[in-house]
């Protein structure tokens, strides 16, 4: 009798364990990770791609799918200011926005530091709002770009630029490369990497023409066109251009007087 009860009890326990295992089994998609914590101990852990076990009543899922892919993108241009107070429209690309650490090898690489990667995955789900990671990281990138640009004057970026004449000159590519390198080094030491767990790098594409120079150039071009038209008109009339200017000024003055204007 006791033997039968023991066998029944054992089979019941086995059935419960099998059911528990079946219920707790979790499949994690390739290139993603699942983050959970133990509600009894408070310990947070990670399940990497493959099969994991989340026990109901003990484990709580914090983030079901953390992407381990590179989420590179091309954000909108940003307006930043040089050290001498000139606005520039800066074009950049985020070539690397990935959960992990700088220069991290692939997931199947034997040199991958698994513990470090898991720590990064935990950081991006517990330190910041994972769903808003893009805006958070882009804000840090723009801040580092601004810090780098405000160390330099307009003429360091555009050696031949002249605000008075509207001359733009060419972008100093070497300085642009230095700024890009400076920003990437700063990001590696920033909280975006140290505390949030992101491997982040940018490519600085270009600085667009500063608005103040563009306006000066447009005014200069307009003046040159007007001057050329006036010279052609004077030549056709057989007079000097300066006399034509005086004549048009008088004509304009008396025309307004005739129209009742003071």
- Full DSSP string of 129-193: -GGGHHHHHHHHHHHHHHHHHTTS-HHHHSTT-BTTTTB-----HHHHHHHHHHHHHHHHHSHHH
Pairwise pLDDT comparison (214 vs 48), residue with the higher score: 48
Pairwise pLDDT comparison (104 vs 226), residue with the higher score: 104
Q: What is the DSSP letter of 39?
A: T
Binning pLDDT at 50, 70 and 90, where does residue 216 land? low
What is the CATH architecture of 78-209?
2-Layer Sandwich (3.30)
Pairwise pLDDT comparison (161 vs 99), residue with the higher score: 99
The pLDDT, as a whole number, for residue 225 is 45
Residue-wise pLDDT for 83-128, tens only, equals 999 889 999 999 999 999 999 999 889 999 999 999 999 999 999 9
Percentage of residues in the chain with pLDDT exceeding 90? 54
Pairwise pLDDT comparison (225 vs 183), residue with the higher score: 183
Helix runs in the chain, H state only: 2-24, 114-126, 133-149, 154-157, 173-189, 191-194, 211-237, 241-258
The tokens for 180 are 């890009």
β-bridge partners, 79: 89
Binning pLDDT at 50, 70 and 90, where does residue 23 land? very low
SS3 94: strand
Chain mean pLDDT for the chain: 81
d(CA 116, CA 95): 22
**Angle, to 10 degrees, between the axis of helix 173-189 and the axis of helix 133-149?**
130
């Amino acid at each position: 009798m006791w033997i039968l009860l023991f066998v029944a009890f054992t089979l019941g326990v086995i059935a419960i364990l099998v059911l528990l295992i079946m219920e707790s089994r979790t499949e994690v998609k390739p290139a993603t990770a699942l983050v959970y914590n133990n509600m009894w101990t408070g310990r947070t852990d990670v399940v990497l791609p493959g099969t994991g076990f989340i026990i109901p009543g003990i484990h709580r899922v914090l983030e079901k799918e953390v992407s381990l892919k590179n989420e590179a993108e091309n954000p909108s241009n940003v307006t930043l200011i040089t050290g001498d107070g000139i606005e520039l429209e800066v074009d950049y690309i985020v070539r690397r926005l990935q959960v992990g650490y700088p220069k991290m090898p692939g997931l199947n690489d034997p040199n991958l530091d698994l513990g470090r990667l898991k720590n990064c995955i935990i950081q991006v789900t517990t330190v910041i709002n994972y769903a808003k990671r893009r805006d958070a990281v882009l804000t840090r990138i723009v801040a580092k770009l601004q810090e780098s640009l405000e160390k330099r004057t307009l003429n360091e970026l555009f050696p031949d630029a002249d605000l008075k004449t509207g001359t733009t000159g060419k972008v100093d590519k070497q300085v642009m490369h230095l700024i890009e390198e400076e920003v990437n080094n700063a990001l590696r030491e920033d909280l975006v990497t140290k505390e949030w767990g992101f491997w982040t790098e940018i490519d600085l594409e270009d600085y667009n023409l500063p608005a103040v120079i563009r306006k000066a150039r447009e005014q200069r071009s307009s003046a040159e066109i007007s001057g050329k038209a006036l010279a052609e008109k004077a030549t056709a009339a057989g007079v000097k251009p300066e006399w034509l200017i005086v004549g048009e000024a008088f004509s304009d003055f008396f025309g307004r007087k005739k129209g009742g204007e003071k």
